[in-house]
Chain A
Amino acid sequence: MFEAIAFYLFAFLTIAMFYITVTTSQALYALSALAAGMIFISAFFFILGADFLGAVQIIVYSGAVMALYAFGMMFFDTTRDVKEKQGNKAIIIGLSSLAALLVVVIVSAPIVGNNVEAFYPMVEGAGNTQEVGMVLFTKYLVPFEVAAVMLLVAMIAGIVLAGKKMDLSLTLMSDSELMNMKEEDKKVNV
């Protein structure tokens, strides 16, 4: 009973939040609504007994990813309203429905087949975190290491891409220096 109430409540909240994210013309509203939606999604993980996944969802998405977006948005002009693509509405709606239908078919295929067996069954008497550790560090050790290397590569790429000219302080420069820098940038870009 409580599970049903929780499910419907969080389903409604999540859908509402993501709808706001997709439709609003203000970048800040979209960011806040997305962060709220991420936290509501972690509620589903807790309902489903995937406690560790829920905690990771809150820490990584609401913590790291949202903070990264918030800092990234300082570089952009977010006060300006976002312009929308003027496409053919019918094509867009048709394609979305088709893709969503495909996802339903893909996901429900094993249920229709009804011959899915647990690869790595849950261990009796162990908590979720313990189970995750057992499977992650035995069966999925190689993907785990690869993911670690990928995160390292992403971190270095982020530093290299965003960190250019970070040693210069634009606020402390005089106007003439700034103009010189702009002129040089133009020459380089052309």
Chain B
Amino acid sequence: MYFLAAEGGETTHNPIIPVWQEIVVGLVAFGVLCFVLMKFVFPRMEQTFQARVDAIEGGIKRAEAAQAEANQLLEQYRAQLAEARTDAAKIRDDARADAEGIRQDILAKAREESDRIIAAGKEQLAAERATIVRELRTEVGTIAVDLASKIVGESLADEARRKGTVDRFLSGLESTGAR
């Protein structure tokens, strides 16, 4: 019945002419939809997107900061290590130099000591030699004089003359001995 009636009223229904009641309904309905969605939903979605971007970028930034800090620490450690190495090397060098110095000192002292001992020995030797020579000289003189007086039978009382004679004799001996 309705459909027949609708067909009966077909002349009044031109599909290209909008029904004004529908325009009003459509405007109101679509307006409500726009109002609610554009005011309460999509801006919040934008905010969420933004928050998400911030969260991700913040994470990346934090990671970058941590990385930078780690790098800096690494550099620092490396620098410290290098410093320690140079220090150690310096200490070793110093120690080596000290050891060398001490060795040289000891060596020099030992050489000095030995020189001193040798010199003292030589001196003593020379002194002893001189003493012996002096003793020998007087002894040889006495013996020779005694021998001579025994041979000659007369005592050469004159001291000065006797000494001169002995000296001459010894000089002659020495010169022949040196030859």
Do A and B pair up? The answer is: no
